[in-house]
Amino acid sequence: MAIRLGRTMVCVCLALSLASAARAGGLDYGARMNEIKGLIWQQNQFGKAEDMINLLLQDPAAPPQTKTEAVVWRGVSFLKQEKRDQALATWRQAEKMAEQITDGRQRVDRLRDTYKRCQEAGSADDVLRIALKVLPQAQQMGDFSARGEACVYLMWAYDAKGQAQESQKMVAQMRAIIEGSKGNRMAPSDIVARLLDVGRTPLVMEMVDACLQADPLARVSGHLRRMGDEFLRNKDAGGAFRCYNLACWACEAERGGMGCARDCQTKAADILVGRGALNEACQYARLYFLACDIREVQKGMDLTARVLKGIDKDINLRVRSFLEFQRYGAAGKDGVPGTPDDIRNPLADVKLPEPPPVFALDKMLAATTPFECRTRAFVYLLHGKPEHALMEALAAYRMATGENLTDEVYDVATAIKALDGNLLRANQYLLYQKLGPAGQDGKLGTADDLQDPLKGVKLAAPPERDQAFQAEIAKCEDTYDGVRRKGFLLLAWGKSDEGLRAMRDAYARCGMDERALKQAILDVAGAIKAVDGHIVRANQYLLYQKHGPDGPDGIKGTQDDLADPLAGEKKPAPGG
């Protein structure tokens, strides 16, 4: 086990066995179903798929939910062969089989599979009958996603049968689910996705707005991009821009949403370039350059340079200085500030586009917790506040205790890039993370030693941030879980030394349970990394935990003996 930066770091594996997830023997019915689906959906080998379905249905050990799923896919096979009546008859058989499944979750899931297929075949009567069975069961289970999906398909069926009043009742239920699903971001997202599936694009925009009013970090960016792409395919650039523009800010609380927002920033810029609105396009290009992951920075540079060239009609005005600014920074090629070759950021006077009101900064921050630092960092980037973004990215870096810190490291570099407007210090930071202060040769006091590019950087935190951390820490109990939570809060707050003490205290309390011990070791390593600002000593600590003082060969007094990286630090008293 090691904290590593991509593929460049040496992986140190902690000698703790992991429980195997594989079953000992027996047929893997999930794999069998995946094979059947591939034969039908991708290869059109319907005969071979039918043989496999028959074998599965004859298998007495096959679970009833798997047999039902196989019959559902037999119907898909018929529909792909343009045998609609046989497909619908098969799905009615699957419906009856699903109703016999005793497990409530499995029963509802198989019924949902069935009405979706019936909708694809355009059978409103079948969809109505099956979805009306699902809705009360989903409500009883408290499954907002299944309930919302059933409402969508019932709305479609009522519309198909001309029952507008019943359809509107379903729309009202969707709104109620969105407004009442606080803390459940999946259910509103699923409603929007299913509306797209059944072709209700105008209603999608209304529901997206409802989602964002309820939660500005709702999971809608992917759906907005999907709609925007559809508008573009239909040659409707205006409709596409409306979707992409909204998605630019819909960063969500998941990593995928941030990538989707970034993608839509470039799509919005491209539409504006196509319209000839180059100054507006430059605003979106700057937004993307600020917010893009450092690993995508070449794409950000290319987009910015292309727009600047289009405005200036000359690469020698701003394009060349922009590219040189990325390479050398404000001090220019000689690296000395205040000399004739200093470079001014060509984007310094370019305003960012205004976010829609639903994405106001205070609303977005209010939708996060103190632990959602990576999301908060991205929110600050979108609003042109890179210093606050760096503060939150560093908090996420300090808290991170997993085996792979690639994302957290690159988040910090991304924020540095946004703060400086160039890549110089961001690249220095990445090199420092890889090699530590001793540089390439691993020896302190030599010519290749590196300085921490963030040493001495002071980031003023809003007063309410300190108050929030104080309040959360006060709630932590004097238990293993409470001390561990306190450690994370202290690390996020920027009090790394205190955070390390708390994590060492938690390590002392965790006992010898394999999983808890492994996590406690990672927690301490993560806190060491937070104190040092790089991962070198943290990896030494993990190596020491794996091998002990005698090193990999297990023999004391040999060249590979290891020293405890924490030997010089006082052990915290429990509760201290």
Q: What are 262-290's pLDDT values in tens digits?
A: 999 999 999 999 999 999 999 999 999 99
Cβ 154 vs Cβ 131: under 8 Å:
yes
Is 566:540 a contact under the CB 8 Å cutoff?
no
Q: Which residue type occupies 155? A: M
From first to last of its 576 residues, the chain has per-residue pLDDT tens of: 454 444 333 223 222 222 232 233 457 899 999 999 999 999 999 999 999 999 999 999 999 999 999 999 999 999 999 999 999 999 999 999 999 999 999 999 999 999 999 999 999 999 999 999 999 999 999 999 999 999 999 999 999 999 999 999 999 999 999 998 877 888 999 999 999 999 998 899 999 999 999 888 888 999 999 999 999 999 999 999 999 999 999 876 555 568 899 999 999 999 999 999 999 999 999 999 999 999 999 999 999 999 999 999 988 889 999 999 999 999 999 999 999 999 999 999 999 999 999 999 988 888 887 678 888 999 999 999 999 999 999 998 988 876 667 888 999 999 999 999 999 999 999 999 888 899 999 899 999 999 999 988 888 777 778 888 899 999 999 999 999 999 999 998 989 999 999 999 999 998 788 888 899 999 999 999 999 988 888 889 999 999 999 999 999 999 999 999 998 776 665 554
Give the list of residues 6+ apart from residue 203 with CB closer than 8 angstroms, or none.
171, 195
147 with 177: CB under 8 angstroms?
yes
Task: Give the end-to-end CA distance of the chain in Å, rounded to a whole number.
Answer: 28
Q: How far apart are CA 57 and CA 53, in angstroms?
A: 6
H/E segment holding residue 373: helix 373-382
Among 191, 182, 117, residue whose Cα is nearest residue 147: 191
Query: What are the distances in angstroms from CA 172 to CA 310, 327, 354, 467?
Result: 48, 55, 32, 40
Name the token pair of 139: 């409500």
Q: DSSP secondary structure string, 118-131?
A: HHHTT-HHHHHHHH
Does this model's pTM top 0.75? My answer is: yes
Residue 506 Cα distances to 18, 478, 490, 523, angstroms: 22, 10, 13, 9
CA nearest to 373, candidates 403, 345, 342, 408:
408
Q: Which amino acid is at 328?
A: Y
- CB neighbours of 516 closer than 8 A, spacing ≥ 6? 480, 510
Which three-class secondary structure string do you get for 66-101? HHHHHHHHHHHHHHHCCCHHHHHHHHHHHHHHHHCC
